[in-house]
Structure 1
Amino acid sequence: MNPDYVNQLWMRYKEQGDEKAREELILHYAGLVKYVANRLAINLSSAVEVDELYSYGVEGLIDAVEKFDHQRNIKFETYAITRIRGAIIDGLRSMDWVPVSIRQKSKELEKVYSRLEAKLGRAASDEEVAEEMGIDLEKLNKILREVAVTTIISLEDFYAGEEGEEKKKRWADIIEDGDSINALEILELTETKEILARAIAKLPEKEKLVIYLYYYEGLTLKEIGAVLNLSESRISQLHTKAILRLRGSLGKKKQQII
């Protein structure tokens, strides 16, 4: 679709309330839903249908179209992808599709990485993590495969607070509405980003590269595997370990501010 025509659609919808223009915008940007859903689906178990992700994602797209301020110097695609991803993740949370036992294992691993790396002052190796947990490497790798599904929720989705807290907010929501930001929220958000940046810098090189290619370059795990000449399952494991380490770092931050 011609960019000038798209701009006209935004003006017709936002300034004149033209519902037909709204529908055209939703159809025009529908490909974003497929893009986000397919990326998230890579790490999900077969228990979740991709069509369900599409359904949640469409809700996010509609919400993005309705709330987007076309007069601000923000690219809609960037804004919408965050909204679509958030809607899909909220949908997954409402489904409660991850078994409690897997969540518990994920939380345990986060604590182990956090505790061990604080003591070592560096990233812990697989051997050190296995020893800390009193298990062998085969068992550790099995646990990492099991908890991989819990790492699809990006570190950027939420800051502070524990699971289920009503006060927990998305970073994107805070950034988006300047009128709602108070000084404490800005400080907390800035501190969290700084801690996250430092934690990423301390990751083992391969894990750091996977995080960069997945979150900053937008590659899928399969595409990253092709770049690094590693199997998709190996890339998934590197991604899982990186996220567990990073969550552990953010977890320490939460404890410090409580």
Structure 2
Amino acid sequence: MAPPTSPFDRLWQEYQATGRIGRGPRQAKAILDALTPIARRVRRAMDDCPALDDLISAGALGLLEALQRFDPTYGVRLETFAGWRIVGAMYDDQRKFAWARGALRLNVQRARAAAEEIQQAKGRPADDHEVAAALGISTAALAEAHRFADHPEPLSLDALDRSGTGGPSDRSGDPMQVLLASEARTLLLDALKRLPENQRYTLLLYYFEQLTQVQIGCILGVSEGRVSQIRSEALQRLIRRLGPRGKDLLDALGD
């Protein structure tokens, strides 16, 4: 049997044998080899510049989930199956940071207002203990808010969620409703299986996993424009394969 060639293959082999990943330096290297390129693509797609190590750490959770759920009979490579879970874990982790920063931003605003009130009442600048007491927070939390005010490091994922090229957030209705009918589902899935691999993955990620074109580009390692081109070509192929019903089915999917 030929040895596994990709880091994902090596990790899958280890997981099948032991039920774990990352044991020993070789497997740790395989994790880094698998996650680092994805983390770099995600980092480039973000408005801020998160630490690469933070993205890799978050992606490791998505990788483990993918290994636990992967079934080779899906007809999808592990690298792609894991990719959308890894990217999702990275975005979720950064959203948590965004929420935390939002709380800090609110504390900054409240702290400034409290300090002004105390100064007006006492005729002198307020000290940190007075401001913290007025806000009902610890002096450590106040100090963190001050640090945030000096170095806010804003994180904006809204541009990704509202991508003007047609992501899940700018579609209306439920694209899965049309698949509730077993006949329609069978027709569509059979047609998807006949598409070239990159086109099949793009449609699966876009319509079934509800990812934006930016996120799909991160997974597949191509530009957002290229994802749009692949999706357009795939839809045309589906229309030709599904015949007269193809356009209605695709319209119902939300395109």
- Shared topology, TM-score over 0.5? no
Q: TM-score range by the shorter chain?
A: 0.3 to 0.5
Q: Under a length normalisation based on structure 2, what TM-score does the superposition of the two structures give?
A: 0.38
User: Radius of gyration: which is bigger?
Assistant: 2
